[in-house]
Structure 1
């Protein structure tokens, strides 16, 4: 919804409090414009959460770091679910702008929003914040992609790495970088957009199709 942005080639791990822990990305975590042309990236063998902990049980510092990443997750309680794929749900989208109330938008189950979803003020500074629930297993390299059209013409395309998240009872809150809406008579009007959340395996957990406005004032 803003000028084109490129994702950092540094993957972030989120701890149990939702705070990022930076690490260098694996080859499979790097997302480029040529990913679709290169085809599916071959990843190493998948390990369950229990296997991850058992692998380094003799290295106390590494074991404690992994336990911190998993937070309060009961490994035994999810043992039966380890053969399942990670379950990632985007619970809500919040638009925050200094000096005004947050706009909290629930995510429809169908992924398709009926009617106008929200209105932004031209030339305003805002941040997007997502509530993300992760269950069953670790999701690796979760990415956000967004494409915007106006009158059928693509006007913006952006991607951002969100990070790698372990399952936990409470949703993670992930805040995006600050953006600025365009301003001027040609910027005002109705836009259509498609937002996706995709992991390193190129599995899409959510695709949202919606419309929004940019006007002289914020929507009610």
Structure 2
């Protein structure tokens, strides 16, 4: 069997196949590619370049509907099924909960959106000089959300005392929620650091769409 396969795919047949592929392809001119690239750069610089239309995920999958393997690969990559997608272009990020991870107490999870009776109440209390992380659970729907970022601004006594920003990344729609922990931080120490703080956590994407803005309170107490 091996000798038969080698004869079928021998040197002469491979050469003939390669010749056939070369003759079937149009002639390639490197200088033409360079001219096309320079023309494209000029269009971009002059502001005359118009990108193709934005497509929903449903449209992108339907484009390759005849190719079953490619369609399945896309669904696996996106983590969703075609039946779950609609034609909406804009992504939607739905936040389910915010958690606080700390060496003081382990983890406290607060469902989102925050109930009205919790507005103005302290969501968690930390000791001075302790390490902690905020952990989020959220879902992405309709389309890819690109460049999701967060900013967390903190005030005490009406004065801004801290602001942190970071990139979460790009996320595709999927059935299971995403779980993401923000970078670890350490509470300040000393008598002036103790007390109640107000904070605002905000999430935006590349298109400056605000997907959530959460105002909350937390307290720092004396260590020990």
Distance 1:154 1:99, change over 3 A: closer
Among residues 142, 153, 157, which one is paired with 2:148 in the alignment?
142
| CA displacement at 1:68 relative to structure 2 | 3.7
Task: Give the structure-1-normalised TM-score.
Answer: 0.67
Query: How far off is 1:43 after superposition?
Result: 8.6
For 2:73 and 2:119, locate their aligned partners in 1 and report how far apart those are by CA, in whole Å: 40
Q: Name the CA shift for 1:109/1:86 in 2 (closer, same or farther; >3 Å).
A: farther
Distance of 1:130 and 1:43 partners within structure 2: 34
In 2, Cα distance between the equivalents of 1:198 and 1:110?
22
Q: Find the structure with the greater CA-based Rg.
A: 2
Taking a change above 3 Å as real, the CA distance of residues 157 and 85 of structure 1, as seen in their structure-2 partners, is same
SS in 2 for 1:186: helix
The aligned runs of 1:85-100 (5 Å cut-off) are 85-98=90-103, 100=105
Aligned equivalents of 1:177, 1:61: Cα separation in 2: 39
SS of 2:190's partner is coil
CA contact (8 A) 1:191 1:211 kept: yes
The alpha-carbon deviation at position 84 of structure 1 amounts to 4.9
Unaligned runs of 5+ in 2: 1-49
Q: Deviations over 1:165-200 (max 9, x none)?
A: 111222100111211111111111111111111111
The whole-number CA distance in structure 2 between the counterparts of 1:162 and 1:148 is 20
* Bigger helix share: 2
> What 5-or-longer segments of structure 1 have no aligned partner?
1-41
Q: What SS class does the counterpart of residue 121 from structure 2 fall into?
A: strand
Matches within 5 A, 1:23-102: 45-53=53-61, 66-71=74-79, 73-78=80-85, 81-98=86-103, 100-102=105-107
Counterpart of 2:175 in structure 1 is 169
* 1:183/1:43 CA distance change after superposition, 3 Å: farther
Aligned length: 174
Distance 2:115 2:211 in 1: 12
Across the aligned residues of Structure 1 and Structure 2, the Cα RMSD in angstroms comes to 3.1
More RCO (CA 8 Å, sep 6+): 1
